[in-house]
A and B are shown apart, each in its own frame.
Chain A
Amino acid sequence: MYSFKMERAESLTSALERFGDSDDAVYLAGGHTLIPAMKQRLRAPEDVIDLSGIPGLRDILVTQDGIEIGAMATHAAVAGSAHVKTHIPVLADLAGGIGDRQVRNRGTIGGSIANNDPAADYPAAVLGLDARIVTDRRTIASGDFFKAMFETALEPDEIIRAIQFPKIERAAYLKFPNPASRYAMVGVLIACISDEVRIAITGAAPSVFRAADFEVALSESFSESSISELTLPSDTMNDDIHASADYRAHLCKVLIGRGVQMLSDH
């Protein structure tokens, strides 16, 4: 790790100011990607602006039409929240399966989605549950947020304040972990939102994506048989020593099928 300057911001305004004053600043949310990258000298920011002191960013609130989760809420806080467990149980499950206990106590939802790691879990929840990302300056729809591997719609200095999720009881998240890293090699979030089925897949491709054909078929008839003839294209899938693109495409379908089964039993 190279030496750097660290400051704790007291407000969103001061965080933005400090970011603007620096030639090379980065926000620190949970730090579970940033700190390892800095330790390996892959990143070397001059200024690290810690967001953990900003009031209100950790709140988990029930709103009229859903749950609003502060960007600095840890994975453990989301997993353990009574509100989340009651109104969006799949989100509590997903958060409780991220990393290990240490990671869950430091890592944050805002940090995770701002980073948009292709193998992270939260992007599947945000896209699959059709959440809205509320920043210091605007609200971004889930479909507009994730752009590419490690790329989002956020401006360089933009800070996520909260993520607004609709209340959804009928949803499941199925993760096939990479045996080594335990990140999602394939993670499928499947949600039934009134008559519509949404499927978001993380881990399999450079960025989270929706399985449109499967959504249409399952929206018409929510059964395994309705998707038996469908396949996912492997040419857009990741390919590495742990799983070829073909195998990832296959796993996506297996997990979708299992999710349909779980939600049908439910």
Chain B
Amino acid sequence: MSGSLVGQRILRKEDHRYITGKGRYTDDIQQVGMTYGCFVRSPYARADIKGFDVSQALEMEDVISVLTGLDVAADGLGGLPCGWMIHSKDGSEMRQPVHPVMAAERVNYLGEPVALVVAETKEAAKNAAELVLVDYEELTPVVDVASAAQGEQLYAEVPNNTCYEWGLGDEAATDEGFASAAHVTHIELTNNRLIPNAIEPRAALAEYNSGTDEIVLHTTSQNPHLVRLILTAFVQIAPEHKLRVIAPDVGGGFGSKIFIYSEETALAWASKKLGLSIKWTAERSESFLTDAHGRDHVTKAALAMDSEGQFLAFKVSTTANMGAYLSTFASSVPTYLYGTLLAGQYRTPAIYVEVNSVFTNTAPVDAYRGAGRPEATYLVERIVEKAAGEIGLNPAELRRRNFIGKDQFPYQTPVALEYDIGDYEASLDKALEMASYETFEQRRVEALARGKLRGIGLSCYIEACGLAPSQVAGALGAGVGLWESGEVRVNPTGSVTVLTGSHSHGQGHETTFAQLVADRLGLAIEDVEVVHGDTGKLDFGLGTYGSRSLAVGGSALSVAADKVVEKGRKIAALLLNTEVDNIAFDAPVYKMMDSNETKTFQEIAFAAYVNHDWPSDNLEPGLAEKAFYDPLNFTYPAGTHICEVEIDPDTGVTEIVQFVAVDDFGTIINPMIVEGQVHGGLAQGIGQALLEQAVYDESGQLVTGSYMDYCMPRADNFPDFKVGMTCTPCTHNPVGAKGCGEAGAIGSPPAVMNAVINALGGVEIDMPATPEKVWRAVLSSQAQKIA
């Protein structure tokens, strides 16, 4: 790094427009003649559709059209594909029921769209939607994940409702580890189902221009190019060059806006079919019903140790819920984003994991902040903490005994990943100090005197981010490579436009990426503008998820900036009439090494566009460079979280009295933004541990369909977070960054639950640790003591 901007707490450039109401979200966009769409949704979790009657709806004033699942079928639209092929242990391909854009014959989850009403006003669309008569014959749904494989078969092509039976690791070696174990710790747990709750509901505005035969789709997407690719290549709504997808300001996603949904797809199709501009904005109830949910695992596992507490083997059996259909990346979440992380920070020599993914009559389940890695971390860190208790070893000490040492990198785990670098002792030590771990016992005694049960819990997490080296992703079944594009476009006056295939929906890329490029070129951050989210402006890109934006997208920009610097050297050599080798760049100045002659970056930029005398053989005019960066490996952020709770034994209320997060994200561009990402991640992780849970009843109705029942975290649920950093820069990307977006949500749930269980004297409960569950655990803990 050459400049002075990297590492600075620069205020976010984008916040001015956000906090002054000048953000431009999809629903803010108005078009002349715009019409409104409203979806008719299934009121049942599972039912046959015997027929549609749209006549009453069509008679309503201002109603333009009613399109149903039958129209989708008649137009031959493809189903919504899943982009990641998983093979079962027997080599067979995963089973993928057709995911229709709108259902025509059978609905498979509550809220599934069956028809789209298009009208001149939103009110007319909504009123008419109530008059679309759908003749349903209700069927018995399969709702519970644990028993789904034994439930009534939902799809003819999917025996046992099972998508795949996947395995990873060496089962024989793992069994040998258990055979020689001095102690085996067993655990059974669930990873609770969550609803993403982005602040901006999904929305789309599809405009068809019959003059150019082009569709422009504004939509709330984390990856507009992927939307375009799937809608054109798979669903076949239009040729790729006749569909422009724009994701303008987007209010949060947490994964839920990666995916290709029915609604946005139906709107793009309908706009062309009807020759209209149509807008749809989800109501919050629709978000609850149809945004892809997260997590939803049930797991049994065992950890084998020798007499010294060295881990010998780890065996895991998980059932994962896919919901009614395979969402865009659903199949990869409980497999390659989960099983591969089961080594954690430890040298466990043998690991074997089996995952059965099942279909149920619930909303599709896909990646949600962390995606597989929170589930892996929760399992590993719960069982390690439990093991420490069983063998009477301090939980920090047990972890320390099993850590991969900082001199053991690169480290090949038994579950496919090769960690490039880390220093797990450093983050553990720092977290223990920040948490005053040594004096916890005094605090426990003091709390007890006040009638409170105090507990402490650790979590030493690791995640694989920077998705993903294309070769590895391809070998694991990904349908696309996971590189990223970037362009550094220098304007004649020396200001810079940065174009990136990453997408910011709250992460602050317009600041971080500008900071990175301005630093490299020696410019003021105000002179760098970041453009993202528009397939009409950008090269193909893969978007934002999996904490990949800086590690992959930022690396592309770093490479592109290096190319700009290099081309600038050639131009400087031309202007200064010397050899390129005689030019050095000391941002923002090009210098002749054997004289005191210089050219500023601005002078070079201007010359790049106005110079008249170009040597035609090796130097073109202009100063704009692109890079497509394909990472060499995943990145491996890691750290230690320590949570301290106090439980009121009379009511079961758990209060988090201290939370320490020490993270190693490699090189940090803007610590303020990174800390904000940690805070947000912790809010979601602690929310999962204590508050949030999606509940369907036996008939497949969503009990937690609003904020009256789905418990969103609020500020007063949290203490002031103590956040610390350690740093081992990523070894294989030019930025040194590892990614920070998901760590908080990955590391925190086991820390919270270990603290709760510690306070309860070892009584295990599942997330979320609601007051009633904790109160009942207190009773059973007291009963155990008496017995």
Chain B's interface: helix, strand, loop or mixed, by majority? loop
B120 to chain A, nearest CB (A): 15
CB within 8 A of B775: which of A40, A179, A250? A250
Of the listed stretches A60-68, A201-209, A237-245, name the one at the interface; the rest are far from the partner chain.
A237-245
Which residue of the partner chain, among B127, B651, B707, B712, contacts A251 with CB atoms under 8 Å? B651
Q: Return the chain B residue nearest A258 by Cβ.
A: B650
Q: Are B709 and A242 in contact (CB under 8 A)?
A: yes
Name the B residues within 8 Å of A179 (CB-CB): 691, 711, 770-771
Closest to B712 in A: A180
Residues from 153 to 196 in A contacting B, C-beta threshold 8 Å: 176, 179-181, 183
For residue A212, which residues in chain B have a CB less than 8 angstroms away from its CB? none
Verify A180–B710 contact, CB threshold 8 A: yes
Alpha-carbon gap, A206 to B306, bound state (A)? 57
Per-residue CB contact flags for chain A residues 233-260 toward chain B (1 = under 8 Å, else 0) read 0000000011110010011001000000
CB distance from B252 to the nearest CB of A (A): 20
Q: Please, which residues of chain B bring their CB within 8 A of the CB of A180?
A: 691, 704, 707-712
Q: Is A150 an interface residue (CB 8 A)?
A: no
CB contacts between A and B, total, < 8 Å: 40
Determine whether A3 belongs to the interface, using a CB cutoff of 8 Å to chain B. yes
Give the contact-size bracket for chain A.
Answer: 10 to 19
Asked whether A181 lies within 8 Å of B772 as measured between CB atoms, the reply is: no
Determine whether the beta carbon of A242 is less than 8 Å from that of B770. Answer: yes
Contacts of B651 in A (CB 8 A): 176, 251, 254
Tell me whether B445 is interfacial, beta carbon within 8 Å: no
CB-nearest residue of chain A to B707: A180
Q: Which of A40, A241, A254 meets B650, CB within 8 Å?
A: A254
B652-674 CB mask vs A (1 if < 8 Å, else 0) is 10000000000000000000000
Q: Are A241 and B691 in contact (CB under 8 A)?
A: no
Separation of A247 and B710 alpha carbons in the complex (Å): 19
Is B770's CB under 8 angstroms from A2's CB?
no
CB pair A244–B650 under 8 Å, yes or no, is: no
A3→B711 contact, CB < 8 A: no
A contact residues around B703 at 8 Å (CB) = 241
CA–CA, A250 and B707, complex, Å: 25
Interface residues in B680-715 (C-beta closer than 8 Å to A): 691, 695, 703-704, 707-712
Cβ-closest chain A residue relative to B691? A179
**Which residues of the other chain, A, contact B707 by a CB distance below 8 angstroms?**
180-181
Residues of chain A contacted by B712 (CB below 8 angstroms): 180
Q: Kindly provide the distance from the CB of B192 to the nearest chain A CB, expressed in whole angstroms.
A: 12
- For B123, list chain A residues within 8 Å (CB): 3
Which residues of chain B are near A176, meaning CB under 8 Å? Answer: 651, 771
- Quick check: A247 and B711 within 8 Å, CB to CB? no
Q: How far is the CB of B770 from chain A (nearest CB, A)?
A: 7
CA distance A2 to B131 in the complex (A): 14
User: Which residues from chain B contact A3 at a C-beta distance below 8 Å?
Assistant: 123
Taken together as a complex, chains A and B put the C-alpha atoms of A179 and B285 apart, in Å, by: 19
- Interchain CA distance A3-B121 in the complex, whole Å: 13
Chain A nearest CB, measured from B266 CB (Å): 22
Cβ contacts under 8 Å, A254 to chain B: 650-651
Interface pair B127/A2, CB less than 8 Å apart? yes
- Contact A181-B709, Cβ < 8 Å, known A243-B772, A254-B650: yes
Could you say which residues of chain B place their CB within 8 Å of the CB of A243? 771-772
Residues 334-353 of B, flagged 1 when their CB comes within 8 A of A and 0 if not, give 00000000000000000000
Residue ID in chain B nearest A179 by CB atoms: B711
Known contacts A241-B704, A242-B709, A247-B775; 17 additional CB pairs below 8 A are A2-B127, A3-B123, A40-B285, A176-B651, A179-B691, A179-B711, A179-B771, A180-B691, A180-B704, A180-B707, A181-B707, A241-B709, A243-B772, A247-B772, A247-B776, A250-B775, A254-B650
A-B CB contact pairs (8 Å), 28 listed: A2-B127, A3-B123, A40-B285, A176-B651, A176-B771, A179-B691, A179-B711, A179-B771, A180-B691, A180-B704, A180-B707, A180-B709, A180-B710, A180-B712, A181-B709, A183-B708, A241-B703, A241-B709, A242-B772, A243-B771, A244-B772, A247-B652, A247-B771, A247-B772, A247-B775, A250-B775, A251-B651, A254-B651
Which residues from chain B sit less than 8 Å from chain A, CB to CB?
A: 123, 127, 285, 650-652, 691, 695, 703-704, 707-712, 770-772, 775-776
Closest 6 CB pairs of A and B: A180-B711, A181-B708, A247-B772, A179-B711, A254-B650, A180-B709
